[in-house]
Amino acid sequence: MIPSASPSADGPDTPICSAKGCRAAAVWVLAWNNPKLHTPERRKTWLACEEHREYLAKFLGVRGFLKDTVALSEWEPTDGEQRS
């Protein structure tokens, strides 16, 4: 595994919206999975601000990738592990 260190990240550890060009603070976590690339239990996550949540959800939704939308405050990272 290659650590995804990003030393150039400016600012504090505020999660930022994943939408291209957006630097707003993220409020939502979109959990998604591309069945062509990922095993079914795998979850990729995008962060979204209030403004881009619908846009990003739609982007993933039309491809059938979107699995879940969770408020950032309620999101619990699982490090790829699935507890069910």
- Under the rule (CB under 5 A), what is the footprint of Zn ion? 17, 19, 22, 24, 49, 52
Q: Which tokens sit at 57?
A: 């959800």
Closest CB 21 distance from Zn ion, rounded Å: 8
> For residues 19 and 60, which CB has a smaller minimum distance to Zn ion in the complex?
19
Q: Which residues are CB-contacts of 49 (< 8 A; sequence separation ≥ 6)?
A: 17, 19, 22, 24, 25, 26, 27, 28
> For residues 25 and 64, which CB has a smaller minimum distance to Zn ion in the complex?
25
How far apart, in whole angstroms, are the C-alpha atoms of residue 47 and residue 17?
Answer: 5
Closest CB 29 distance from Zn ion, rounded Å: 13
Q: Which of 20, 17, 74 is nearest to 51 (CA)?
A: 17
Closest CB 17 distance from Zn ion, rounded Å: 3
> For residues 41 and 51, which CB has a smaller minimum distance to Zn ion in the complex?
51
